[in-house]
Structure 1
Amino acid sequence: MGIWLGALRRPLLRALPTALGVVLLNFALLQLVPGDAVDALVAEAGSATAETTALLRERYGLDQSSWHQLGDYLQHLLHLSLGYSPRYDMPVLDLLLARLPNTLLLMGAALVISLTLGVALGTVMATWARRWPDRLLSSLAFLMYSTPGFWVGLMAIVLFAVQLGWLPSGGDGTVGAELHGWERFTDTLRHAVLPACTLASFFVAVYARLTRAAILEVQTQDYVRTARAKGLHPVRVRLRHILRNALLPVTTVAGTHLGGLLGGAAVTETVFSWSGIGRLTLEAVQAREYRVLLGVLLLSSLLVIVANVLIDLLHARLDPRIRAT
């Protein structure tokens, strides 16, 4: 237990100033953007008097100075509140928590798919290095890497939803169906297959190439030659000594990609009409809902911080030398 607490101490000490820096930087950047949520509401309404606009700004605290708004926002954060959304007419925290499960499901499924397929393809590529399976899979990985995610999503809808009819084309559940329990869970999974695979397509290529390079480097190390000289079974050498150590750079990069997954989720959720944080972000940008954007950015930062802590623990598990350090 002491080992794990030691591994957690440093990233946890970095988490608080990092989160505070993210809040201050994002607030400063959003203050430079012209307009606010009241401007968007007035534009949608078509007409509004100057008195009505002023009353709305006063109601939501948008008539105050930037320093006063920052102090008010930090005070709300101390009470675990992210403010109130004029457009959605509800607390920002409740709005984010309502969308968060769908995004976590999409990101988690995409991460599992990309790591599983990427490591498997990379292992095959390293096993048949510089031969035709390696060349074929390398070309496939390059194609997946260079193809835009929105195009992959649209082609997936055309093929698997329109032509074959195997999977739904969008949404996070069957419209009008009163499903509960296991039926609702399986229905949500069916709707998540296409967007999760679309989001994972880019990262499969990244992890495949990275796994290939890591395996080719690790299998030349002295401890691998020693393991083979001891007469260990080739499968055990590849799994326990080569692949285990080759996973260290892969998991490190995977931790840094969580922000990219969330950014890609904004496009993927829009293409598939998936109700999540990414789609909410685009809606907030269009509506100039800066409180919602601040909440999304803070939540995203916390997710990345938590992911990095988990990656540190995973590294300590994979490599005993890290635990000793």
Structure 2
Amino acid sequence: MSTLPRPPSRRRRPWPYPLRRVCQALPLVVVIAITNFFWLRLAPGDLADVIAGEAGAATPEFMAELRRQFGTDQPLALQFVAYLKRLAHLDLGWSFRYNESVLRLISDRLPATALLLVSALVLALLIGCAAGTLAAVSRWRAVDIVVSVLATLGFATPLFWLGLMLMVLFSAHLHWLPSGGMTTLGVDAHGWAYVRDVASHMVMPVFCLAAYYLAIYARLMRASVLEIVGLDFVRTARAKGVSRFRTVVSHVVPNALLPIVTMTALQFGTLFSGSVAIETVFSWPGLGQLALDAVSSRDLNLLLGILFVSSLLVLAVNLIADLAYGWFDPRIEVQR
């Protein structure tokens, strides 16, 4: 008895990789929100205690009324349910300290922090990768020794101390750069004058924040280039008559950048936390300084909003890093 051939089975096409990564990140966002809420509730005191301390004294009735207004007198379970409902409606709550929406406060401060972080990250990547590559191709020469010594110093120097020393040198003694802030107070600049004013205020905080990560990228790039140089495809390119400069630029550097991409994604959260010290030292009006004020005043709604937005930014940077792998190495895109 003959049987008819079975029709070929139709395999379901997988979702695009970015969409799959976003779906995988959604449960992580929920876990982060829950962890932040209960972790901050372990800290002693609340905004009512801070207000009473600033006033010098307060009656129990006044303290109870403050906690009723802030919603902290309710059971922890009810506070948690209210918090999840607000997040479901993209509402980060109300800052009773600033008497303003948390989302509005974060949106006002986020551009300043983003400008500082992106500038420092770009500076660290460009100079660090260039210095690491130059040190690797000049192994055991004067350039390699100088880059290694400077990288070690940058890795070991505390950021807040470096910021204070830069302020003393370039602001107090030389008077070349402003000591703090994002713009000059009392100056209503527009156009290119405003850009130059902001740029002059950015020089020290950006360099100070980038110094540590520049040292890490230089050391990592040096080790990665030295590893790639010894592989077979590099020796084959040199045997075919390709110049040393073109071999390094076209074959070695793109493959050596993969560890840099991984390290950048992993350290973005550390870079964000490092901006707190830099923004405090240089009075930079960003999220770091706002988070420090929220901690000192026990403004839990504001602090929860900052932590949640920061977590989303870190997840977004990790997604961008995963997509960048396919650009540097097409074989990774095929395997996905």
Within the alignment, does 1:87 sit opposite 2:114 as a pair?
no
Larger radius of gyration: 2
Report 1:253-268 matches (<5 A): 253-268=263-278
The structure 2 residue matched to 1:212, chosen from 219, 222, 233, is 222
- Counterpart in the other structure of 2:119: 109
- Counterpart in the other structure of 2:88: 78
- Counterpart in the other structure of 1:221: 231
CA distance, structure 2, for counterparts of residue 245 and residue 23 of structure 1? 37
**How far apart are 1:31 and its partner, in Å?**
1.0
Report 1:149-160 matches (<5 A): 149-160=159-170
- Counterpart in the other structure of 1:173: 183
The structure 1 residue matched to 2:306, chosen from 296, 302, 306, is 296
**How far apart are 1:293 and its partner, in Å?**
1.2
CA distance, structure 2, for counterparts of residue 190 and residue 291 of structure 1? 34
Per mean C-alpha deviation after superposition, the further-off stretch among 95-104 and 132-141 is 132-141
**How far apart are 1:185 and its partner, in Å?**
2.7
Alignment check: 8 A CA contact 1:41 1:87 kept:
no
Structure 1 letter corresponding to 2:186? G
Structure 2 letter corresponding to 1:202? Y
- The number of aligned residues is 321
CA distance, structure 1, for counterparts of residue 181 and residue 97 of structure 2? 22
- Counterpart in the other structure of 1:285: 295
- Counterpart in the other structure of 1:119: 129
CA displacement 1:262-289 (0-9 Å, x = unmatched): 1110000000011111111111111111
**How far apart are 1:34 and its partner, in Å?**
1.1
Per mean C-alpha deviation after superposition, the further-off stretch among 227-236 and 120-129 is 227-236
CA distance, structure 1, for counterparts of residue 147 and residue 129 of structure 2? 12
Alignment check: 8 A CA contact 1:22 1:298 kept:
yes
**How far apart are 1:99 and its partner, in Å?**
0.7
- Counterpart in the other structure of 1:56: 66
**How far apart are 1:15 and its partner, in Å?**
1.6
Structure 2 letter corresponding to 1:64? Q
Alignment check: 8 A CA contact 1:161 1:167 kept:
yes
CA distance, structure 2, for counterparts of residue 223 and residue 9 of structure 1? 34
Q: Unpaired segments of 5 or more residues in structure 2?
A: 1-14
The structure 1 residue matched to 2:30, chosen from 6, 20, 42, is 20
- Counterpart in the other structure of 1:240: 250
Question: Scaled by the length of structure 2, what TM-score is found?
Answer: 0.93
Across the aligned residues of Structure 1 and Structure 2, the Cα RMSD in angstroms comes to: 1.2
Structure 2 letter corresponding to 1:125? A
CA distance, structure 2, for counterparts of residue 169 and residue 58 of structure 1? 43
Alignment check: 8 A CA contact 1:118 1:204 kept:
yes
CA displacement 1:145-186 (0-9 Å, x = unmatched): 001001110111111112222211100110011123332233
Question: Scaled by the length of structure 1, what TM-score is found?
Answer: 0.96
3-state SS of 2:16 partner: helix
- Counterpart in the other structure of 2:211: 201
CA displacement 1:4-53 (0-9 Å, x = unmatched): x7331332122211111111111111111111111111211222222222
Within the alignment, does 1:141 sit opposite 2:143 as a pair?
no
Structure 1 letter corresponding to 2:225? I
